[in-house]
Chain A
Amino acid sequence: MICHSHPVIKKGNVMLKKKARNKITLVYALILVPLLMYIFFIITPLIISVIYSFNKWSGIGAKQFTGLRNYDRLIHDKNFWLAAKNTLVIALYAVLGQVGIALIISFLMTNHKLKFREFHRTVIFFPVVMAPIVIGFIWKFIYNKDYGLLNALLKIAGRANWIKPWLDDPGIVVKSVSVPVIWQFIGLYMVILLGAVMSIPNDIFECAELDGANWGQKSIYITLPMIWDTLKIAIILCASGTMKIYDQIYVMTNGGPGRSSSVLTLYCYDTTFRIGNFGYGATISVSILLFGLALAGIIQLLMGRRKN
């Protein structure tokens, strides 16, 4: 009986092997096709941008290899450094504003006295899902000199002397455009930090309460150290996310008045598509990427050290 069935098993084995080989080929194919598409549309442009950053090209005709000349120009370009400075200043405001306010909220959310927790969470997160373009327009209305919501509210509050041309004064415009950016993403960092706060075991808080710790002490000595790693991630995300800020400022001021609220992405867009200098635009693209990576590295270094 056993002997008799042996060839059948063997035959089945070969078939199984063949089937398995077909399956592996299929698996490779199913992964390879999307992978190639991804490399073509995401990784190739990255390489192109590095190549073009070493060339002079105006969008038509042949490009001309110029070595490091674009980078030399970048280092001496006052407009670039103004845009870089504005971007970093906005990133700093964003970290302080978004993560700072989100941190305070997540402390408050651990307090028993807080009402309507779910409502607040849903409402504060709402601006995160709105289109940055729409946010830009809404704040343009809010800041409008004549018909703006802000100035109307100031009039009602009897503070007419505080009324300012919010987006037309070069002295305050960077602060003005930072507010919507901060406002839009408080909710995102609130949800991230709250996630970490919720995962702290409740008995730690109960122990502290038994020892007589109040809410402030619990926040500083328990909540803060327990969510430190998440806080670090939030700050990195926030800083590198702000490096990409574009839509809102494009709508609100388009970098104006003059160049006073220009940021790196806007400068890159203008250089490439308004002036038509593709090579130099690619150089700015590469610099945006490097700025983001450097910023993330610096924050990691700073906050990692303080932990010990």
Chain B
Amino acid sequence: MKKVKNIIGWIFINLPIFLLSLTCIFPVIWLMYSSLKSQQEFTLSTLALPKAPNFDNYIKAWVTARFDTYMFNTTLNSLISLFMVLIISFSVGYLLSRYHFRGRGLVYAIFLSGTMLPVYSLIVPMFIQFNKLGMLNKRFTLWAPYICFELPISIFLVDSYVKGISNEMEDAAAIDGAGLFRTMFQVIMPICRPVLSTVTILTFMHVWNEFPLAQILVSDQNLKTIPVGLTYFTTQYTVDYTLLMAALVMATVPIIIIYLLFSKKIMEGMMAGAVKG
């Protein structure tokens, strides 16, 4: 009797979580194997595995649907934003944490106020501002907004990490005659590698997935990013489900790889970013 009760208890605990996990992973797996089917095969049976898996959809999406352009633009935007976010958030975070100059509290407050602002309440005025300055539809259009939106959380992460490093490192560097730049970038930056890798992953993910700003500030076909490009698949290729699926898989694979490698870091970073608010 007790054994039966134990088994029921075990099922009661494990089944709900198991089912939830299944719903999280199955749609992605379904997407992946369906993208290897032809449109005909997909409409015949939605769930069946592909009989003759082929990469036609991928080739078509890449070549005829301009996915190569989208991929290049998104990659370039991600890399440049990432580089700038790393440099700026590291130096600002470090200096705010080490130098208690006048106005420091105000600087901190201005940067953190941005975390309260939803992007969506800024897209209309940003469009107006960029339009007036003639900065719409340029290769660099999205860089500054992306960098700025990532700064608050990145500065916060660096600042709290540097607080945990003892001053001795800087003292030793000063005795050796190192200037501010050498102390920052050659002594402290290597120590900050764990937090900088968190910043890297978070920034990359956000910029890679970003949609509303890219949708509004860039309308030039040659400069569009992956998320915006995906919405064109439905208007141009309304019925071709498996082609869109192939594009979705390509848009997601880099994220999947990064997640599999760094899932712990991503969770830590997102948690720290969330709980500070």
Contacts and interface: CB of A to CB of B under 8 A. Distances in A.
A223 interface: no
A217 to B, nearest CB: 15
Given A49-B124, A183-B23, A42 B248 contact: no
Contacts of A49: 121-122, 124-125
A129 B117 contact: no
Nearest to A26: B180
Contacts of B226: 131
Given A45-B122, A131-B209, A285-B125, A114 B13 contact: yes
Interface residues of B, number: 82
17 contacts: A24-B99, A38-B110, A41-B126, A42-B122, A114-B14, A122-B263, A124-B20, A125-B266, A126-B25, A131-B255, A134-B248, A188-B274, A195-B275, A268-B124, A269-B216, A273-B127, A285-B120
Interface stretch (A73-81, A165-173, A201-209, A286-294): A286-294
B114 A108 contact: no
A197 B27 CA distance: 30
Contacts of B263: 122, 125
A70 interface: no
B252 A272 contact: no
Nearest to A280: B124
Nearest to B228: A133
A46 B21 contact: no
A152 interface: yes
B124 A131 contact: no
Interface of B: 9-10, 13-14, 16-18, 20-21, 23-25, 27-28, 30-31, 42-43, 46-47, 88, 91-92, 95-96, 99, 101, 107, 110-111, 113-114, 116-129, 144-145, 147-149, 151, 179-180, 205, 208-209, 211-212, 216, 226-227, 230-231, 234, 241, 244-245, 248, 251-252, 255, 258-259, 263, 266-267, 270-271, 274-275, 277
Nearest to A135: B27
Interface of A: 23-24, 26-28, 30-31, 34-35, 37-39, 41-46, 48-49, 52, 101, 104-105, 108, 111, 113-115, 119-134, 137-139, 141-142, 146-149, 152-153, 156, 183, 186-188, 191-192, 195, 230, 233, 236-237, 240, 243-244, 246-247, 250-251, 264-265, 268-269, 272-273, 278, 281-282, 285-286, 288-289, 292-293
